[in-house]
Structure formats: C-alpha cells, structure tokens
Structure 1
Amino acid sequence: MAVVGACDEWSPLRESVVGIAYGAMFPAEDRGMVEATMPREHWDEFRPGHPFPPWIVEAAEQELQTLAELLEGMGCVVHRPHRVPWSELGGYCAAMPRDALLVMGDRVVEAPMAWRSRRRELLAYRPLLQQLRRSGARWLRSEVDLRVDPLDGGPSSLGRWAIGDARPAWDAADFLRLGPDTVVGQLSHVTNRSGVAHLRARLGAGVSVYLLPVRDPHAMHIDATLCPLREGLALYNPERIDPALLADGPLGGWELVPAPFPDARDDPPLYMTSPWVSMNLLVVDHQHVLVEARDEKLQALLDSYGMTPLPLPFRNVQALGGSFHCATLDLRRDRRRAPLG
C-alpha cells in the first residue's frame, strides 16, 4: 500500500511516481499561450492531433524505465502511471507527473491547470490516487470551474501573462517545498494570483506560500529556475534570479549558487523548454543527485559541493518538456537529518 509523506526536495526519497512517455502528443493550445511559453522555432508543432516523433517517444520511454530501475535499485518504491490514449482525448502525455500534482506532507493536491490539453491528465494517475487515499493520504481535488478559461490576460511586472484571474489556475511545477511549513513559487503564464490563493487555501494556515521575484518573460514552471540541493543550499538560474532579492524571504541565509550556463543543443530538439532544463535535477538523498549524462559542467559543480552526481541519459525525455524533477513525483521522503561530517 502506497504511503504519502514528503515536505521538502532533498530528504531521502523512499517512494515516487516515474512518468511514462506512451502516446505523447504535442499539446494543442491557444496560440497566444504557445507563443508566450514555447521556443519560437517549434510553435507550429503545437496543433491538434500531432504526435511527438515516435523515435523520440520510444527512446524517452526507455530513459524513464532506466530511471525507474535505478531508483528501485536505491531502495525507492516506484509507481508508474496508467496508459491513456492521448490522441483520442486531445491530451499531452503522462511523462511529467510533477506538473499536475503537488505532494505536501500527507496531502496530494490536484492542480487546476491552465492548459486545456492537460485537464484530463489525471486519468493516468486516478487508480494510484485512489490507492493513496485508502492508505491515509488526503487527496485534495482542484474543485474549480474548468469551464471558465483564464485566457483574458493579466498584468505582470513583465507585461501581460497569457492568463488572467477569471478562475484559479496553477501548475504544481511552479512550486517547491522547503520544509513542512514553507512552499516557494512564482507567478507565470500558467499560475495566476487567484491560483496562488487557491493553493494557500488547500494547504491550510500551517503552510506559507511565498512568491519569488523571478525575471522570466516566458515563465512556466520554476524547476529550471531554482533547485534546492539540501537544506541551506540551492542552485539558481543567473538569467532569471537576482539572489540579492531573496535575502528577506524564506531563502534568506541560504547559500545560493549560480548554475553553469548550459551548452547549446539541438539533437533531439527541445520542443518545449530552454536549455536551462539542465537544472531540472532530482535529489535522491542527502548526497546523490540525478543529472543528465552529458551535463558535465553541472556534474563538476555538484561534486565540488560534496554531492554525488548520478549521470543518466535523459535527453529524449527533455525533448518532451521536462527532466528528472518533472518526470517524477515524490510520494514519501525520509525527514531524518543527514549525519554531520
């Protein structure tokens, strides 16, 4: 029986969901949303009924299977989503479980996602969610009116987001956990202010949700912008974050390390992300971090801070829109502190 209990990004991972690439389709979204968030050279790929190249999906499926086997070999219980016919449902895929679900303590919170193409994504996780609820987890459904679309625009410090506040909208991948009472996140093209208020209400008064000042005109998911490695230490994206602006918030007193600028790449194409997807790491325990096999500069940086990089080929999963953090969902982490010295 699955158990839920996770409230940070670095304690030893004991139970997790690992996504599957089966049937991956390009999300068919409003053109304004696509142009606001996706790389310009790939805008025309985002049309109804258009699958990702089958050789990329096949290779991504093998990379995800290798990830699942590695985690199991490290003592982590791994769950996989059910296969869903995305081409019939106008959907995307189940490769990125972190986007749709937020685990905080014993709560599993459904995200009221802004993208129409992703609103049926939880079909792939529904049997697992039922199992989690039977095991004692608090399953909190989104409970917002998805018939109302928040595509009326809204003000931001960078101009206008692709969504306004007509209804609460947030993606779980726009938030990170820093402890049992602290979540940090960002406003973005898929997370609005009423969505943040909705999340605060779902988590309750015992959990504070802080919005970080992020400089990203294409903001959509924070896990290629900030990456906590352990309590008090985090990587940040030097193009998107000014660390001086974080001194008065929950990251005040943390050591903030700029991530190395990623190398340019085009094989396979990054259809849905920037090269900063290299920062989308998964901390397995107080020492081990999963990192893409070719990101050698990042591996060297992690090693210099006493972390042990676990290089794994993951470029085809990245082509689908995320990396190790997005492709997993922590269900249970062990909160015991790492031994000193």
Structure 2
Amino acid sequence: MMLNSFDEWSPLKEVVVGSAMNYNSHERELSFDLFFHDNIAGDNASRSEWYYPRLTPAGRGGSAHGPSGGSDRLLIKQRYVEELNEDVEALAQTLASLSVTVHRPMHLDPSTSEVRTPGWTASVVPPLNVRDNTLIAGDEIIETPPMIRSRYFETQFLTPVFQRYFEQGARWTVMPRPLMTDASFDLSYARESTVGGPTEPIGDPQPSPYDVGLEMMFDGAQVLRLGRDLVVNISTINHAMACDWLERHLDGRFRIHRVYRLSDSHIDSMVLALRPGTLLVRSEAVAEKLPAALRSWDLIVPPAPASDSFPRYDDDDLVLTSPFIDLNVLSVGPDTVLVNDACLELVRTLEKHRFTVVPVRHRHRRLFGGGFHCFTLDTVREGGPEDYLG
C-alpha cells in the first residue's frame, strides 16, 4: 500500500515493529546521558556518582573523545535481552493477528560493534525504538537528525522498508546530519532541570577540530500528529533548530505548533491522541502546556502506576524511563488500543472510557527506553490531513 500516516489513531493498516536482536550494552557518554538525563538523574540508586560528561579511567571501554576516557560501556544481563526479544516478537504477532501488515527492519549483525565518524566513535544498538529517528508526515518519510551517537545510522536498518514505499510513490527525505561533537549539544535543559540528585555539575564540552557550534537534533517521538497539525516539543536549541527546518520543509502542507519543555525530548509518554477529541495525558498539568485548541479535548488521566507493575532490578541495572512509560500505548483504531498487560490501572481506565484494550506483555520497558508506541512506526493508516484544531 502507499505510505499514508497523518495521525495516531486512524485504523492501522501497516506498521514497522523494531528489532531487539543483539542488544547487549548501553554506552554511557555525553549524548546518551543528556538524552536520558531526567531518568538517569532520578531513577537509579547510584545517581549521585553520575555527572556529565562522564569521565572514565583509561582502559574502561570506548571513548567519544579519545583513549583517555569519555564513555563507559555497561553490559545488559542476557536474560533481560532474551525476554525483550520474546516480547517484541509477541507484539509483532499481536499486530498481525489484528490484520495489520507488519514490516521489520534488518537485524543488527553481532559483528557490527561500533559506529565511527571523523569526530567520535560509539557502540551500536539495534533498531528497536523505530519511532525515534523517523517522522512519517502523510506520504513522506523524514529521517530525523539523531540525538544519541550510538543511533547515528539506525535508519539504515530500515532501508529495505523505506525503499519499497519510495518505489510506490512516497517522498523520502533525510534531515541534515549533525557532526555531534560535544560542542553540538545545548546543555541548558540538563543544567537547569535536574529532577533528582545530588548530581555534579555538567562539565565543559571537550573541544574537537570538527566543532561547528550547536546543531539540529530531533526525534520523531517529539511530535504529536493530528492530521494537518503537528504539535512539537522543544526543550533545547537543538530541537528548535530542527523545528525551524520542519516548518520550512512542510510549509503549506502542515501547521507546526510548538510546546516548550513538556518533557526533556519525547512526548509520547506524556500525551497521546487516542481519537479525535480524546487525549491520554500523564496529568492535567501536561494538558495545560498544550495548544489552546487541544485543551478543550476530553482528558483521560489514569492513576499513577503501581510499583508492583514493574520487575525489581539490581542497583547496577540502568533504568532509562520513568514509571509512566506504560502510557506509551499504540492505537490500532479509534476504539482499540494496545496496552501493557502489567498496567492494570491503565487497562481499567481505558475500558471505562469504552476502548477495547488489547493486553500485550512488555516486561523490561524501563531498561530499554520504550513502550509500544516507541517500538513501532505506523506507515499506513486510513486517515488523511483533516483539520482537527480549526
């Protein structure tokens, strides 16, 4: 089918489900720590030892700055990876059982261990959270400029999928790629918005011969798609520069509405549109930051997640998402929603609002940085460029 995806709720026909194959480590370095800043600062037992950029004694892992330090590669327990793979495959099977055509990216080959550019090296992670580095805007694939170095070439794993849509008539665009030296990052959010502590001050960026100053960096998961309207979360100058590019590129086809610091980056565990006129939000305070036209929509605010909804982890397990990650649901249609089967409060809340809930298992969402919305990229939905905001 032709690429066509304008919103988050229309009947879903085709989707990409990510791959977790050969996901074996996290690499703590500047871009990673900035991206996961809120949860690294607040949700880990040893957070008082962490600061930015993380300096590592020589010999303990790779480096973004050279052999003297700059990164720390943390292995992930194999049982978590095996269970993650089981849950991702079950998600793909569930979608197929709902008559959705499921596409998959290429798997990360275990021999591919790092990515290297003129300015830095980083480990490689598989294309799991495929929502992040691509924005589908109607009939256009837009590859967005990454915010984490280890994901710099992640969209290449989706090349076979994107190429097929291109052959069927889709537009296919790649936003400018950042050099991603330390000087490329706006550190203001992390410096001003530490949510848990104590943490040590963010250090000065390491110089590079490839410094060009602040650059655009942006993820598709910062966008709430509402027909012809795109609500975009801006927390840094990097995001604002990318939004400027989007406005110019999409001018005449979409309207851009900026919201500021709704979160550090992604907003799909803060607010999701389940159907026209209905929003799933973390809190009413979140809704107050949305455009005025959206504040009149019906709000579904589920109870706070129960602690027993999550596995217990060891102190050396790195927690990357907040307890609200289960708000990261995927709509298969305006009345049908995929929800984590461990989040019973959310299931009951949505059922009270007359949604059909399809429970799907996802155990380690806090360790791998995403829920069902993150793990998927909807490429074909029935909806079009309707005007929902007037």
TM range (shorter): 0.7 to 0.9
How many Å separate the matches in 1 of 2:72 and 2:312? 24
How far 1:258 sits from its partner (Å)? 1.8
CA contact (8 A) 2:185 2:215 kept: no
1:184 aligns with 2:231: yes
- CA-based RMSD: 2.9
Match of 1:290 in 2: 338
Counterpart of 2:214 (choices 133, 157, 166) is 166
Determine the structure 2 residue equivalent to 1:112.
145
Say whether residues 1:262 and 2:263 are aligned partners. Answer: no
Q: Residues 154 and 165 of structure 1 are in contact (CA less than 8 Å); yes or no, is this contact kept in structure 2?
A: no
Match of 1:246 among 290, 305, 315: 290
Give the CA deviation at 1:262: 1.2
Report how far residue 150 of structure 1 moved: 5.4
Match of 1:87 among 102, 109, 113: 113
Matches within 5 A, 1:20-169: 20-24=19-23, 25-30=25-30, 33=34, 36-40=37-41, 41=44, 47-85=71-109, 87-89=113-115, 90-146=123-179, 151-153=184-186, 155=188, 159=192, 166-169=214-217
- 1:207 CA drift (Å): 0.7
Q: Which residue of 2 aligns with 1:12?
A: 11
**Aligned with 1:186: secondary structure?**
strand
Contact 2:35 2:147 in 1 (8 A): no
Quickly say closer, same or farther: Cα 1:300–1:158, change in 2 above 3 A.
farther
Give the drift of 1:32.
5.3
What is the alpha-carbon distance in structure 2 between the residues aligned to residue 137 and residue 209 of structure 1? 21
Q: Which residue of 1 aligns with 2:252?
A: 205
Q: Is the 1:18–1:81 contact (alpha carbons within 8 Å) kept by the matching residues of 2?
A: yes
Deviations 1:59-108 (A, max 9, x none): 11111111111111111110111012353331222111001111111001
SS at match of 1:192: helix
Q: Distance in 1 between matches of 2:143 and 2:291?
A: 31
Q: After TM superposition, give the deviation of residue 223 of structure 1 in Å.
A: 0.5
What is the identity, as a one-letter code, of the residue corresponding to 1:81? Answer: P
Query: 1:166 and 1:190 mapped to 2: Cα distance?
Result: 7
CA contact (8 A) 2:106 2:158 kept: yes
Aligned length in residues: 330
Task: Give the C-alpha shift of residue 36 in structure 1.
Answer: 2.4
Following TM superposition, by how much is the alpha carbon of 1:156 offset from its aligned partner in structure 2, in angstroms?
6.0
Q: Report the Cα offset of residue 199 of structure 1.
A: 2.0
Unaligned runs of 5+ in 1: 337-341
Q: Is the partner of 1:20 in helix, strand or coil? A: coil
- Report Cα offsets for 1:201-251 as digits up to 9, x if no partner: 3323321121224454xx13111100111111001112861x344362x41
- Does the CA-based 8 Å contact 1:215-1:239 persist in structure 2? no
Output one character per residue of 1:104-139: Cα deviation in whole Å (capped at 9) or x when no partner. Answer: 110010010122111111121122222221111101
Secondary structure of the residue that 1:273 maps to in structure 2?
Answer: coil
**Is the CA contact (8 Å cut-off) linking 2:12 and 2:382 kept in structure 1?**
yes
The amino acid of 1:13's aligned partner reads L
Are residue 307 (structure 1) and residue 355 (structure 2) matched?
Answer: yes
- TM-score, normalised relative to structure 2: 0.76
Check conservation: 1:12, 1:333, Cα contact below 8 A: yes
Larger radius of gyration: 2
Q: Distance in 2 between matches of 1:4 and 1:114?
A: 26
Structure 2 residue identity aligned to 1:21: A
Deviation, structure 1 residue 309 = 1.0
Q: Is the 8 A contact 1:84 1:123 kept in 2?
A: no
**One-letter code of the match for 1:272?**
L
Percent same amino acid at aligned positions? 27
